[in-house]
Structure 1
């Protein structure tokens, strides 16, 4: 069907919501934007869907949300009456139309006789994961676009274990979603008839989640002794982190926490930042200003749905430096393993999980403490799958999981990234160094001195629209067709192609990989450094990751510069 035909169907639909119609009419003279809105359905992948708000099948609106919920409802229905009775937990963040999308999802489920538990107001993503597990739901829905700009929203689907739905189940949901020809015709149950199927939840679940957060800290005696002295600045960047984050810190014993008031307001426009992404230093502008006023030991920021956390540490000159996700993970892993080892509480079968594009510094730390480090594909659902597997087999005991993009999990009562858990643990670690008259920056330097200098960098190329998606595929396809054997002065030792699940060695031989198939290439270099390439699963980007290792900071930085130049020339 031509996009113009679909556009006319929407334009002629009598019951189109006023908000969607207003947006549709505003585009009447913008053919480029209209085509982008109607040329193809919004991509629904293994993590759900995410896109710009607006009218059209390639936008987030109540109709595309209903379509996603209908696909999930059919998937649940296919599993029988018991699955329907278990129901679906639904939460949402501070973005535009999030509460409406949550309620529309519940109304679609209700039309199928499926119960839903909807939070009465905004909540963090990790609490949604916890709720699925706590209420023994068959699935979960989180309305969020994570750290995307204000014009975006999204629909994430969770499985019964509280993790993002695993690929096999997600593929089934995707089939149901794609089988729906017209999202305008999806049945919903009126609110007045939905009382038996929609239950509102709130503080009762908060209390249970906060109780579990008390298990995150390790050295409670130290916190009692010095936690009140820790000087911390916290910004939730206009999102969901404030309510539970403040409570969790207070209940743990950290009372000297200054909130960035301007960014504590749940604002869907994220009016004080260019982007509500804690990975970007600009997001710390207000926190740094307040930190300098207060002489804060550490600054922390959570993204809008509070599944990611970034931190800035005080430098010797009094300025603040935002640590990378890999650096934060290294500090946390070192603290957890060293403390557990000192207390003789480190399990002999301990395991740490990370994504394949994350730093190898934590691997070196794990080797010291004889802890297994296991790499999985990018996407926290793969970490959740491993937690579930080892919980069932008892082969390993989970200690920590992370992705380089500021996503961490400490305790598995949640099965997704959890910035609230991370907030509490990081406060403890900062207190530990404060007692030693050091900062987190000092702690990181000690780790580098012991384990070597590791540095990572991610380069993202954004390609918008229909042509952009094609460009992204062309780039990775061309690299795959002619695999480079050198990057700058460093030879490639072997290449792992996760799409074909093949390891290509320099002698021409190949080996089979055991990880699931994914469109990722990873080049392992002769000195232990590496380069990986993958299209983003949630944004119109292709990402290039570099991991460098050297004997000193200067050596590492020179290698990084050399590899960056080589990679740029290769892409061109």
Structure 2
């Protein structure tokens, strides 16, 4: 553990270790650790050049917005990327004064630029491993639509980067960092003011201001830490940032459930510091290091992400009159079916997708998807006038929405979930468990079809349907989901970034039924 919290070792390994794994883009770009040889300078050189080649091939000639978060590997990777981009004459906008940049701000800046510049479109890169441990690094590409790159784009970048690595990086253009930073193609820009000034287009800031509610915020040492004071000053919010530390070891973080340091704002273990202070505030929240996730803390504790998404949708569908009627609510198929019940209660459509925020991008751009979210506490929604806000997850607006909900209704989101949604739709018990997965099990999952499962019941309930594709876009889910007659379900899929299996279960019969489903689910799929 000491080695993995040694920032000097983490950074020196970035420049010195040999590659022990090729470039691999999962659902959120390329991730790895310099200590393992899976994220180092050679990877980032190759990825950055591959991205330049992709831009040239697809005639993307506008600026590239480049940002990084507070992980130890993010600044070294930022410098490497800028060296390559400048050598390739890419116009790059970076946050002025060496300021950190949250993921949703990169999405916002891309969309704002492209709103008025149609001929030379902008794109962006955010260097972050999200909520992962301090020794990890990550590199994500957002094309001109502002959201996560789809598989066709990431396949090109991945293959081209690995070609460059196999050729010992001989095809890479690069100049020294000092020269790249001062190059005519590198532009420092204020990313904070445009984003903060536009927040009133998506959040009812005046209602929050008038309510005078007391807000507690733990940025968890993340990239959005210097956004909260400008937000408070502009809109007159009563905000207290309870932790203003930037520490690349994240030593202030309580260990997560497995003893690792992980800045997961949906984990009650990682959020323990803010939960202890919950009763001091009317509403509180935390965000992960790149601010694309949110963790909502009410005086009675941390909300389950699925519960908060359900309340957010319930509230927005009643308080955004300009959204219109012909819209859908997007959700990943492993998110709670409480969301389905809420949406159907308003006679709206559900757009259900596989895991990955990229599936929502086109619907957000077209204003057809008003809100979309993932069970892992990532979501975004449209501006009040129905126009697109961001096409990537935005932890700022989901957190501020919790304050708006309290200010407008007089109830916390947890009170609304308990007193309104549960009383109307029931009380599902939802939990995900992770475990190891064998190559044989991966093969079985990839070959499973609805017809290959012959059972008609599970845990004493009838099997209503079996899915290997999402209902919203008919795309493969990378696993299987089994729906039961009382609304309960389970889904199994391999992780896209780690050698493990994810088993999601939601029971409408409490924890006892959840356990029965858990005990029978693996046997149903793998015939153990």
Q: TM-score band (shorter)?
A: 0.7 to 0.9
Secondary structure of the residue aligned to 2:511 is helix
Q: For residues 424-503 of structure 1, what are the structure 2 equivalents within 5 Å?
A: 424-433=400-409, 435=410, 438-445=411-418, 446-461=420-435, 463=436, 470=439, 473-474=442-443, 476-477=445-446, 483=453, 485=455, 486-498=457-469
How many Å separate the matches in 2 of 1:548 and 1:359? 10
Kindly indicate whether the alpha-carbon contact (under 8 Å) linking 1:20 and 1:61 is maintained by their aligned counterparts in 2.
Answer: yes
Q: 1:183 to 1:143 in 2, by over 3 A?
A: farther
**Alignment-derived partner of residue 35 in structure 2:** 54
How many Å separate the matches in 2 of 1:100 and 1:159? 22
**Alignment-derived partner of residue 12 in structure 2:** 19
How many Å separate the matches in 2 of 1:237 and 1:21? 24
Kindly indicate whether the alpha-carbon contact (under 8 Å) linking 2:86 and 2:186 is maintained by their aligned counterparts in 1.
Answer: no
How many Å separate the matches in 2 of 1:103 and 1:221? 40
Q: Please list every run of 5 or more consecutive structure 2 residues that lacks an aligned counterpart in the other structure.
A: 1-9, 115-120, 256-261, 383-387
Are 2:107 and 1:129 equivalent residues in the alignment? yes
Q: 1:563 to 1:75 in 2, by over 3 A?
A: same
Shift of 1:289: 2.4
**Alignment-derived partner of residue 200 in structure 2:** 214
Secondary structure of the residue aligned to 1:400 is strand
How many Å separate the matches in 2 of 1:403 and 1:92? 23
**Alignment-derived partner of residue 266 in structure 1:** 246
Q: Please list every run of 5 or more consecutive structure 1 residues that lacks an aligned counterpart in the other structure.
A: 1-16, 25-33, 504-512, 550-554
Larger radius of gyration, structure 1 or 2?
1
What is the alpha-carbon root mean square deviation over aligned residues?
Answer: 2.7
Q: Deviations over 1:193-232 (max 9, x none)?
A: 43445424342x32111122111224x5543431x1x222
How many Å separate the matches in 2 of 1:413 and 1:201? 23
Aligned positions, number: 491
Kindly indicate whether the alpha-carbon contact (under 8 Å) linking 1:45 and 1:174 is maintained by their aligned counterparts in 2.
Answer: no
After TM superposition, the score normalised by the length of structure 1 is 0.79
Which of 289, 300, 319 pairs up with 2:276?
289
How many Å separate the matches in 2 of 1:534 and 1:118? 37
Q: 1:94 to 1:489 in 2, by over 3 A?
A: same
Shift of 1:531: 1.1
**Alignment-derived partner of residue 417 in structure 1:** 393
**Alignment-derived partner of residue 258 in structure 2:** none
Q: 1:183 to 1:115 in 2, by over 3 A?
A: farther
Are 2:149 and 1:171 equivalent residues in the alignment? no
**Alignment-derived partner of residue 385 in structure 2:** none
Q: Deviations over 1:448-497 (max 9, x none)?
A: 11222233221112x4xxxx673662563586696362332123222111
**Alignment-derived partner of residue 88 in structure 2:** 112
How many Å separate the matches in 2 of 1:362 and 1:457? 15
Kindly indicate whether the alpha-carbon contact (under 8 Å) linking 1:92 and 1:144 is maintained by their aligned counterparts in 2.
Answer: yes
Secondary structure of the residue aligned to 1:519 is strand
Kindly indicate whether the alpha-carbon contact (under 8 Å) linking 2:381 and 2:389 is maintained by their aligned counterparts in 1.
Answer: no
Kindly indicate whether the alpha-carbon contact (under 8 Å) linking 1:364 and 1:451 is maintained by their aligned counterparts in 2.
Answer: yes
How many Å separate the matches in 2 of 1:251 and 1:408? 24
Secondary structure of the residue aligned to 2:90 is coil
Q: 1:338 to 1:289 in 2, by over 3 A?
A: same
**Alignment-derived partner of residue 519 in structure 1:** 478
Shift of 1:23: 5.7
Secondary structure of the residue aligned to 2:225 is helix
How many Å separate the matches in 2 of 1:482 and 1:271? 49
Are 2:83 and 1:102 equivalent residues in the alignment? no
How many Å separate the matches in 2 of 1:306 and 1:50? 17
Q: Deviations over 1:29-88 (max 9, x none)?
A: xxxxx8xx62x41423463200112374xx1111111111111111112134xx23x132
Shift of 1:152: 0.6
**Alignment-derived partner of residue 356 in structure 2:** 379
**Alignment-derived partner of residue 557 in structure 1:** 511
Shift of 1:91: 0.5
Q: 1:55 to 1:281 in 2, by over 3 A?
A: closer
Which of 208, 220, 228 pairs up with 1:237?
220
Shift of 1:121: 2.2
Kindly indicate whether the alpha-carbon contact (under 8 Å) linking 1:354 and 1:375 is maintained by their aligned counterparts in 2.
Answer: yes
After TM superposition, the score normalised by the length of structure 2 is 0.85
**Alignment-derived partner of residue 148 in structure 1:** 132
How many Å separate the matches in 2 of 1:110 and 1:566? 56
Which of 299, 302, 305 pairs up with 2:284?
299
**Alignment-derived partner of residue 327 in structure 1:** 307
